[in-house]
A and B are shown apart, each in its own frame.
Chain A
Amino acid sequence: MSRRLHIEVFRYNPLDPESKPHMQSFYVNEYDSMTLFIALNIIRDQHDPTLQFDFCCRAGICGSCGMVINGRPGLACHTQTKDLPEHIVLHPLPVFKLIGDLSVDTGVWFRDAGTRIEAWVHNDHDSFDPTQEEARMENALANEIFELDRCVECGCCIAACGTARMRTDFLGAASIARVARFYLDPRDERNVENYYEVIGNDQGVFGCMGLLACEDVCPKHIPLQDQLGIMRRMLALHSVKGILPKALIEKLAHKGCCHENHKS
């Protein structure tokens, strides 16, 4: 019953002038409930201790182990080998800077994106009064914000994005969804104009070509497509302010989306 897996791994060490990018084959016996986390650790423990890859929580929660698995970006830790053919091919995620072998620098990329979109709740933080009870919020809204806060920044949506592959300054679905998270949050005092400055351009919502692989590969099943649509409509309407009648813009602004209940 047990298969012998042929795992082909991309190898390249950018710090070693002798190193050339190539594929290397390893063979591992499969067993029950085996994940790529287990398989890669067996390779490192038994075959090549220098193999570079990133794991942390190994439970699909931290987002460390994004890689291209048989041509498709995904989290290695929650990919079970039984769902893959005997021959498994692993590449590092494209777009991000390669650190070595399967390890890429998602941390710096997302930090840079976070800085560009000013990814924090914009309010007067010093106004927090410890003697007062918290500002009230509807539970349904809290759930909607959390839905977008579930992003683990694994980078799969960026690696699968046609635009991001062509232009290095594209913010990608994860960043746009992150802006959408703050737009949804009444504690963030930014207005449409502020958001327009951040993502109302080619680097943001208008750069998207609508291929939508981002949502297909998202391991957390975050509704990236919806959020992109909501933000794009909101900012497109903003750019025709003064051209279309105000009533029409207001009518269209949140029609049928999750914002309909919360904001005018």
Chain B
Amino acid sequence: MQIFYTDLLCIGAGLAGERVAVEAAKAGFDATCLSIVPPRRSHSSAAQGGMQAALGNCVMGEGDSPDIHFEDTVKGSDWGCDQEVARIFADTAPIVMREVAHWGVPWNRVEHGPATYYKGGKPFEAAESKEKHGLIHARAFGGTAKWRTCYTADGTGRSVLNTLDSMCLRYNVNIHDRTQAEALIHDGENCIGAIVRCLRTGELMAYFATATLIATGGYGRIYKATTNAVICDGGGQIAALDTGIVPLGNMEAIQFHPTGTVPTDILVTEGCRGDGGTLLDVNEYRFMPDYEPEKAELASRDVVSRRMQEHMAKGHGVKSPYGDHLWLDIRHLGEKHITTKLREVYDICTSFLGVNPISDLIPVRPTQHYSMGGVRTNKDGAAYGLSGLFSAGEAACWDMHGFNRLGGNSLAETVVAGRYVGKKVVEFLKGHSVDFKQSALRDAHAKIEERIKRLSGSSGKESAIVLRDEMQDIMMDYVGIFRNGKDLQTAVDKLEELHARSMNIGLQGKAIGFNPEISLALRIPGMIKLAQCTAFGALQRTESRGAHTREDHPERNDKDWLNRTLAYWKDGDSLPTLKYEDASPYFEIPPGERGYGGGKIIHADIPAEKLHVPESNASDNAASAEDTK
């Protein structure tokens, strides 16, 4: 077996993985990125809308500051986020946008003079200032007080990923594409690398690393209707959970995006609504202002998705062979705007839906989109439970999003956390030497080899494809936007059955070398576990917070549930073990009303000392975000 040695092993080479790798490589360390696909095909590339950062250059962002960005983020999270982390994020974001500009991102820029913008479908004039001409521009996104989302047309993920990948070339980061990490190598205390399957030859390889980073994105593929790419199968979370030591945080916090298209589930960006697009029902009536008079289509995603679902349940949806949907209307933005700033949307509509958005309405409905939960880390990005293991981006529960993330905050998180965690990883690398224990490697390798042997022996009767389909249907039917105790119990029971059946998977076909069927067969048992963590966490959480909505517990219960779920999986168990920790070490902004979404709150008695930022922290964080101000 081939064995590689490296200082930093990044599992995943999207924006977060590459940003951390660049930080380590710049500091002189050997960094290696593993990726299922060539890095530029990572799902980061599909992010259209933009990155939130309080630069305050555009006229509609005047007076913006990290304080306001922080406040929007905390409200968006429905007070489920770690406020210390959200603060680090909001303070660092402007710097990171400038840094990637320095490296080559072609951000759209302010053009001074009068401009026509749209709000709620109606045009208005605003004058961009002369002093800000040529600085980074921003567009509106949901749940924000200011226009704050930096963008490159509607290909922000693509252009930032291109730039970061170019920096990986520049700093000689090793890229090993078509590889899939199957297990972490650890001795119960230290993580020292991973066992990896080559997706060219099917062979197993080992990577020894002083530090290992999980940056594999979300786990949306546990749902049938998801905007996520086919590689977003939660591989990194599975590897962490399988250690039995590392917990996953808030797995029940799943975001549904208001504008997945019908029937292909491909996303059209929030930028459509940010730029003035509206949502219409079967009568082409604009219904959102009735529910959310102030924010309308630009309330946070959880709220808009819920309102859409509610409106369709009242019989106002558009009937189609693929189920009910609503309309997104961007026609009034005009041909020039649609074919430049929303070009990707134009392409998607024309190529996949046969709809011309300049003259036609776009069929949309809420679709699984984002995983707020993931590998639980501390504010440095270090995973709980194993030294030397880090995580960043959507794969992690760093936890700046709590129970709902704002549009534009996750794409920004990839590079902001990437830079911040990258610096922490460098500190770790400087202070550590590691014993690459052969016994730990042998244990991890033996487990995976044994699983592949068992699969290839083909005594198993279950089909991985059937199990996948059943899991996805269960998640759609019982763990969707509106949840209740009865449905969730059904999901937990059915998934537990699937878990048992997943021990007995056999292969249908045979192939020498790489066999795609083995890839799926190796993944499915882990994906079912992630689905179980999600469903079980949702069942236990008897309140409604952010994207987690319980019909039988409609109130946000700060008294009992101002906390974060931690899911562990003990070897041999058929259900996760759930533990809980405080949502935030302190509350710079005390829990209160979001200002949209409605709903009752059961208030908590929070001790006075937790209602302000501890002195030591304030100075600490300012120092470690270094040059932030």
Contact = CB atoms under 8 A, between A and B. Distances in A.
A107 B347 contact: no
B628 A130 contact: yes
A139 B42 CA distance: 27
Interface of B: 26, 37-43, 45-46, 95, 97-99, 101-104, 106-111, 133-137, 152-153, 155, 158-159, 162-163, 166-167, 169-170, 175, 177-178, 200-202, 229-231, 263-264, 266-267, 321, 340, 344, 347-348, 351-354, 465, 507-517, 520, 626-629
A80 B263 CA distance: 13
Nearest to B344: A61
> A61, A132, A139: which has the most chain B beta carbons within 10 Å?
A61
B40 A139 contact: no
B98 A149 contact: no
Interface string A55-95: 11111111110000000000000101000000000000000
Nearest to A58: B230
Given A15-B514, A52-B516, A128-B99, A57 B104 contact: no
Interface stretch (A114-122, A164-172, A242-250): A114-122
Contacts of A125: 26, 102-103, 167, 170
A107 B36 CA distance: 11
B109 A136 contact: yes
Interface in A119-165: 119-121, 123, 125, 127-128, 130-139, 141-143, 145-146, 149-150, 152-153
Contacts of A61: 45-46, 158, 344
B161 to A, nearest CB: 10
Contacts of B201: 15
A149 B106 CA distance: 9
A130 B517 contact: no
B352 A78 contact: yes
B353 A133 contact: no
B465 A45 contact: yes
A260 interface: no
Contact of B200 (A44, A45, A99, A131): A99
B344 A110 contact: no
A50 interface: yes
Contacts of A9: none
5 contacts: A50-B509, A62-B45, A99-B178, A146-B155, A149-B159
A57 B229 contact: yes
B66 to A, nearest CB: 14
A33 B514 contact: no
A52 B136 contact: no
A99 B514 CA distance: 9
A123 B102 CA distance: 9
Contacts of B37: 54, 56, 62, 64, 107
A13 B627 contact: no
Given A33-B354, A137-B106, 14 more contacts: A32-B321, A57-B46, A62-B37, A80-B354, A110-B38, A119-B166, A127-B102, A130-B99, A130-B627, A135-B102, A146-B152, A152-B40, A152-B41, A188-B104
A158 to B, nearest CB: 14
Nearest to A182: B104
Given A56-B37, A64-B41, A131 B627 contact: yes
Contacts of A142: 106-109, 152
Contact of A56 (B103, B137, B200, B230): B230
Contacts of A132: 98
B138 to A, nearest CB: 13
Contacts of A139: 108-111, 134, 137
A205 B40 CA distance: 24
A216 interface: no
A35 interface: yes
Interface of A: 13-16, 18-19, 32-33, 35, 44-45, 48-52, 54-64, 78, 80, 99-100, 105-108, 110-111, 114-115, 118-121, 123, 125, 127-128, 130-139, 141-143, 145-146, 149-150, 152-153, 185, 187-188
In order of increasing CB-CB distance, the 6 nearest A-B pairs are: A107-B38, A15-B513, A136-B134, A120-B166, A145-B106, A49-B517
Contacts of B231: 56
B510 A50 contact: yes
> A56, A105, A136: which has the most chain B beta carbons within 10 Å?
A56
Nearest to A49: B517
Given A134-B101, A139-B110, A16 B511 contact: yes
Given A52-B516, A61-B158, A146-B159, A138 B109 contact: yes
A133 B57 CA distance: 10
B372 to A, nearest CB: 21
Contacts of A35: 264, 352
Contact of B515 (A50, A80, A130): A50
A143 B137 CA distance: 12
Given A114-B166, A120-B167, A49 B516 contact: yes
Contacts of B42: 62
Contacts of B517: 49-50
B101 A135 contact: yes
Contacts of B166: 114, 119-121
B104 A120 contact: yes
A188 B105 CA distance: 12
Contact of B465 (A49, A59, A137): A49
Contacts of A143: 106, 108, 153, 340
Contact of B512 (A16, A32, A45, A107): A16
Contacts of A16: 511-513
A120 B267 CA distance: 30
A18 B502 CA distance: 32
A78 B37 CA distance: 19
B158 A152 contact: yes
Given A149-B162, A152-B40, A15 B512 contact: yes
A50 B511 contact: yes
